[in-house]
Amino acid sequence: FATNYNNSAAPTSLDHSDLQAAVFIAPSAGRISNVKIQGSDASGVGYDDAFKFHFYKGAMVNDGTTASLTLMDSTTSITPPNSGRSWSHTEDWSSGMDFAENDMLFIFFRKDSAGSAQTVGFVMNVNGYLTT
């Protein structure tokens, strides 16, 4: 659901073979207004390393080798409280999360720093609305 992009500080494009990582193709213009994340069982030496989820958009591409991406916004830093315990995060947006019809929406996971090995499980609910 969310793609790890530790090899890039800010993915401004995505190879055509990775376009299936989109979590949604917008049927019309709209806005993401809220995200709710339930995590479980953070583990590893770096179980408490902070991370964020980054929301990107990019127009659908036909007969191309790459797709251009634009950062919409990111969650605030999330730090699991304890190894082997649950964690949760809710965040609201009132602006900055707009998308157009036919935009592909991507969610990337990235640790705030290189840190130690970390395993994180989660389920995410992205909420929003269509404006047209």
Regarding pTM above 0.85, the answer is: yes
Query: Residue 109 forms beta bridges with which residues?
Result: 4, 53
The amino acid at 20: Q
Widest pairwise Cα distance in the chain = 47
pLDDT at 121: 87
Amino acid at 21: A
Per-residue pLDDT tens over the stretch 34-78: 999 999 878 888 888 899 999 999 999 999 998 999 999 999 999
Alpha carbon distance 20, 71 (integer Å) = 18
What residues form DSSP beta bridges with 107?
Answer: 55
- Tens digit of pLDDT for each residue in 86-111? 899 999 999 999 999 999 999 988 88
Single-letter residue type at 126: V
Question: What CA–CA distance (Å, rounded) separates 46 from 34?
Answer: 28
β-pairing, 103-111 vs 3-4, is: parallel
Q: What whole-number distance in Å separates Cα of residue 123 and Cα of residue 4?
A: 15
Q: What is the pLDDT of residues 1-27, one digit of tens each?
A: 445 554 556 788 888 888 888 899 999
Classified as helix, coil or strand, 123 is strand
Q: How far apart are CA 117 and CA 22, in angstroms?
A: 26
Residue 83 binned pLDDT confidence (cut-offs 50, 70, 90): confident
The DSSP 8-state label assigned to residue 59 in this structure reads E
